[in-house]
Amino acid sequence: MARHLNRRLKLVFAVSCIALLGVGCQSHSSTASALPGPNFSGPMVEPQAKPAPVATAIEKPKWVPPAKQVAVPSSWVPLASAPKREWDWIVIHHSATTDGGAARFDKAHKEKGWDELGYHFVIGNGTDTADGLVEVGGRWPLQKHGAHAKTPDNRYNDHGIGICLVGNFEETRPTAKQLASLNKLVAFLADRYRIKQPDIIGHKNTGKQTDCPGRNLDLPAVRAAVARQRSALVEEPQRNPGELMQSASR
């Protein structure tokens, strides 16, 4: 009886195990079938639109107009046949007189025993000549040394261009036309002969005990005006040598 009971228990146990195994296999199979299949193409990434390029404004270089060119009289240009002379300074004077001109100063200088007018240029004030008129002395066309700023080594006569404005600028001021002509003349000469700004000087800066060209002639203002005008001046067509020889004695 007991043996028969044991056999039945073993049979029930075996059947239960088989049932359990069957359920486990079925559950595993259904779980496995729920998983996605393998993907051998790599991950799928949604393509993204590229951002539009940002337009950057390119600043164009600003156009700078060339300096306005101003013609100068051909008489300011020496004769082509004249020997070359090195000019290192421009020496500015006043006549220390109320009136005058190149002819009158030429006569006075000859009375001192000089060969001719000592200056290269004279700028009138409306007395003997027109206000602001630039007279060219006989020395300039021939590139002859000056006789206006004597020193022991004579450097300012040998290598200095002498310009005299008619007037006494200890007492009065140069006229507007005189200053305009002075600035234009000095700018042309300084640019043509490569004379530096500090070497545009007054007679008193040569070492001589004098107030020339007077306290009312503003040399720093002249240098500043010259700096603005340099390289903007051009020569007029050359005239014949007879016209260039504007001797102060005429």
CA distance 117 to 113: 11
Domains of the chain listed by start with CATH number: 70-244 (3.40.80.10)
pTM of the model: 0.68
CA distance 131 to 143: 26
In single-letter form, the type of residue at position 179 comes to L
pLDDT tens for residues 39-96? 555 556 566 666 666 655 556 555 444 445 668 899 999 999 999 999 999 999 999 9
pLDDT tens for residues 91-141? 999 999 999 999 999 999 999 999 999 999 999 999 999 999 999 999 999
